[in-house]
Every structure is written in C-alpha cells, then in structure tokens.
Amino acid sequence: MFIAVIAVRKHQPQSFLHNSVLMSLVFPHTFVPWFRAVAPYIHAYRGETFVVGMPGELVAAGKLNAFVQDLSIVHAMGIKIVLVHGFRPQVNEQLAAKGQVPKYHQGLRITDPVALDCAQEAAGQLRFEIEAAFSQGLPNTPMANATVRVVSGNFLTARPVGIVDGIDYQHSGHVRKVDAAAIQRAIDSGAVVLLSPFGFSPTGEAFNLTMEDVATSTAIALQADKLLFLTEVPGVLEDASDPESAVDTELALADAIRLLDALPAPTAPTEVAFYLRHCVKACQAGVERTHILPLSVDGALLQEVYTHDGIGTMVVDEKLESLREATPDDVGGIVALIEPFERDGTLIKRDRNEIERDIEAYTVIEHDGVIFGCAALYPYVEAHTAEMAALTVSAEVQGQGDGDRILKRIEQRAKHMGLSSIFVLTTRTMHWFIKRGFQHVEPEWLPEERKRKYNWDRRSQVLVKKLA
C-alpha cells in the first residue's frame, strides 16, 4: 500500500504524501468506527453554548495554535463558543521586564498602576495572537476552509475588590455584570466571542479581573450548557493523597462541595481547588456541566467533548436528580416502578423478596425523592462479564436521558469490578441497546451459570457491549 501511494503520487508535495499514507492506514478500519462513535455527540451538542476558559499558561507553553484549531472544529460542529483568555504569566513577564515583582494575596493579584499597564499590554498582545490564530487557513491543517469571526468588546462591567484583610487590591476587580444579551446576539450570528479579563466601571475605570471569574460569571449569565477550564492540573484525582491515582471523570456537585470543604483555600492555579471552586459556583447557579481539563494533553478539549469518558473531570449538578446505588429503603419504589412493565411482558416477573435480596445490585435514579429509573448488575467474575437486568425508566420521564445515565453508571460499576463487558437479555428493546453500542450474540455466548437459567421459551435476544 505504501509503494502504490508513493509511486503514483511522487510528484505531489510531501504533505499530500503524508496525508495519503495516513488515510491508507486509518481508513476504514479505524476512522469509520471512530467517526460513527463521535456522531451522537455532534448531534447532542449542536446549538449548545460552551464557555471555555484558557489560561495564559497554555499560550506560554506554545499550544495556542493547536488549541485554536480544536476550538474551530468544535465551532464547525455547530457549538456556540465564548472564549475567555487569561494572562497571568504574560503579565508577570512584563513586570519582570520593568524590574517589578508580582504581588499576590490569597491567590489574587494586587494590581498597582504598573501592573495595570502590564496587564493592558499583555491583553492587547494576546488578543492579537488569538485573532491571528483564528484567521489561519493553511491547506492540510484543521483551519483549511474555516471562516471564524472573532468578536470582542466591552461586555463586562466590573467593581473593585477593595481592601480585604487590610490589603488594598487597587485596580483588581470582580465581575459586576455581564452583557449576556449582546454576547448572545454575537454567538447566535456565528461569531466566537473573545473576552479578556478586563472590566470597566460605569465611570470608565479599568479593573484587572481573573480569567476564572470572567468565565464563570459569563457561563452563569448565559446559562451555558458547559463551562470548560483548561488547567495545569489533570483534573480531580480519585485519591487526593496519591498524585498517581486516576482522574475522577465525573463528580457530583454534592461530592465536589464536600471535597472543597476538606481542602485548604487555594492560592495558585496548580491546585485543583483553584478551579473546582469556580465549577461548583457555576453549577450552583444553573450551569449543568463544568469541566477541568489538562492543558498538557494535546486535544484535551476534543477528547472531553466527543468521547464517552472524556479526559478530565466533569462536575455535574444533581440537585434535582440523584443517581446512586440502591438501599433497602428503595425496595418499595423499585417494585412500583417495574410492576407495569412486568404486567405487559417487557420484564420478567421479580417478586419483592428477590429484589430485597439483591438490592445491592441495583442502581436507581430519583427526582425529588421519587424513583423514576433502575437497573441491576449481576457479575460473572470468572467470565469477566456481568448482566444488566431490569433496566427500567418510568413512562413519565422517558426520552429525557435517564436510561442513558443509568447505563453509564452500570458501565462504571462494571469497570470498577475489572470486567470487560456487560450483557442484557431483552425481547422488546433491542434497538435501544444496539444504538448504544451493544451487539447481538447467540445465547451460547452466555456464561455457563447464566446459560443454565436461560428461558428458551421466552427466546430473549442476547446483546453484549464491550467496555473500553
């Protein structure tokens, strides 16, 4: 394959050869399944609003062009983007050039007149670089054929931090108000809105803000669908005491609040609490999903948005909805939920004693204390698989995504058990499972213990999903 491509195309530029060889390698065995797997996320997020916080450290690390290319791809997929840039290292560099030392108190910059001048210079330079990056259109790059309009403006009203603990923060400020209507008009027109961490008082006084404050306030004002921070941390670790532990890919708001309460007040962006507190604030104010992503990983934004597990930590607002493992107090609610589906033959009959005996196997989803969905997980450890049974969502809330959320939790439970797949037996809902990655197999595939209990008269279809 290599010889054929090179022999026929040797008169073409090297970039063409490179792309042709790559396509011959990945198409169709890798590219087509990957693109099909991404498609549901493209459909789901089209028309949604994302606020993205980009720290100055990303630019200092030389990653601006690649990041802008990823943002342009996301924008091309129909997502409305507000980009907020930081400039912490750039301001410090300007201060150093003037023989000044950066001043901070409790993680917040003290902006004296010299620092304000440096911030203005850094902001102007960064806006120029970001707009230039969005204006690229080189062939054989993700920016080819891209037309991205960037809109900036005085969308923010600020107020001074003032004097705190006897420290005068001078020209440092907080966001007072976001002109959400103007930003909304701009992103609805197809533009990317670029916000610098600067705001102005009604009297025209300039204030240096933080990127995190601007991004959070903007996401809240727009009631954005996602707030995403690129950070110097990988995310929230499952074990905070072990820097080598895995990243917790999904964190309920209540758990995030408890974690924040246990952590000391952050003073630097290298501490996870530095960003987590803003994620919590946004979720508490109505932003459903907030994310902490590692800027060190190439394509982190794309991986977080367009893959199932993502790469960073997502904080989820579950104030009105609780997805959890069942307790004995839930037996009555589960019985009431599945009973109608047992009567019409969708589910096999399970008596109350059986559910009570297996209650630890169940996951439930409840709204305002009422159980609206459930599923059970029965592992077959020697076969490295598990059965998901009794997946049920109340007719009152079907179509709202509860089934997908339960399925994801069941998959997570199976992964934590070290299992490589889950399977279901169904007579009426095959298509629902197939759309979510399950594949049909013959009953002989079942683990021996489960095969002995298979009801050949019912002729249930066996569907299997491999766990990544």
175 has a pLDDT exceeding 70: yes
- What ranges do the domains of the chain cover? 2-316, 321-466
**Rg of the chain taking only CA atoms, in angstroms:** 26
226 has a pLDDT exceeding 80: yes
| Mean pLDDT, residues 332-351 taken together | 90
5 has a pLDDT exceeding 70: no
What the block records as the tokens of 279 is 């994620």
For 179, other C-beta atoms within 10 Å of its C-beta total: 16
| Mean pLDDT, residues 6-22 taken together | 38
For 377-397, how does the pLDDT look when each residue is reduced to its tens digit (9 = 90+)? 999 999 999 999 999 998 877
| Mean pLDDT, residues 445-455 taken together | 94
* Predicted local distance difference test score (pLDDT) of residue 243: 81
CB distance 428 to 346 below 8 Å? yes
What the block records as the tokens of 108 is 């917040």
| The model scores a pTM over 0.85 | no
Q: What angle do CA 129, 131, 133 make, to 5 degrees?
A: 70
For the chain, give the secondary structure using H, E and C: CHHHHHHHHCCCCHHHHHHHHHHHHHCCCCHHHHHHHHHHHHHHHCCCEEEEEECHHHHHCCCHHHHHHHHHHHHHCCCEEEEEECCHHHHHHHHHHCCCCCCEECCEECECHHHHHHHHHHHHHHHHHHHHHHCCCCCCCCCCCCCCCEECCCCEEEEECCEECCEECECEEEEEEECHHHHHHHHHCCCEEEECCEEECCCCCEEECCHHHHHHHHHHHHCCCEEEEEECCCCCECCCCCCCCCECCEEEHHHHHHHHHHCCCCCCCCCHHHHHHHHHHHHHCCCCEEEEEECCCCCHHHHHHHCCCCCCEEEECCCCEEEEECCHHHHHHHHHHHHHHHHCCCCCCCCHHHHHHCHHHEEEEEECCEEEEEEEEEEEHHHCEEEEEEEEECCCCCCCCHHHHHHHHHHHHHHHCCCCEEEEEECCCHHHHHCCCCEEECHHHCCHHHHCCCCCCCCCEEEEEECC
Query: pLDDT tier at 114 (50, 70, 90 boundaries)?
Result: very high
Query: pLDDT tier at 16 (50, 70, 90 boundaries)?
Result: very low
| Mean pLDDT, residues 264-273 taken together | 88
Q: Could you identify the residue written with the tokens 């399970």?
A: 350
* Predicted local distance difference test score (pLDDT) of residue 30: 74
What's the rounded Cα separation, in Å, for the pair 313 and 213?
19
Residue type, 386: A
* Predicted local distance difference test score (pLDDT) of residue 318: 60
What's the fold here for domain 2-316? Carbamate kinase (3.40.1160)
Per-residue CA distances from 438 to 345, 429, 431 (Å)? 22, 11, 9
* Mean pLDDT value across the chain: 87
Beta bridge partners of 371: 366
**In CATH, what is the architecture of 321-466?**
3-Layer(aba) Sandwich (3.40)
| Mean pLDDT, residues 385-413 taken together | 90
* Predicted local distance difference test score (pLDDT) of residue 24: 45
* Predicted local distance difference test score (pLDDT) of residue 2: 31
DSSP, collapsed to helix, strand or coil, labels residue 225 as: coil
How many alpha carbons lie under 13 Å from residue 160 in its C-beta half-sphere?
Answer: 15
* Predicted local distance difference test score (pLDDT) of residue 468: 72
Bond prior to 28 in cis (omega within 30° of 0): yes
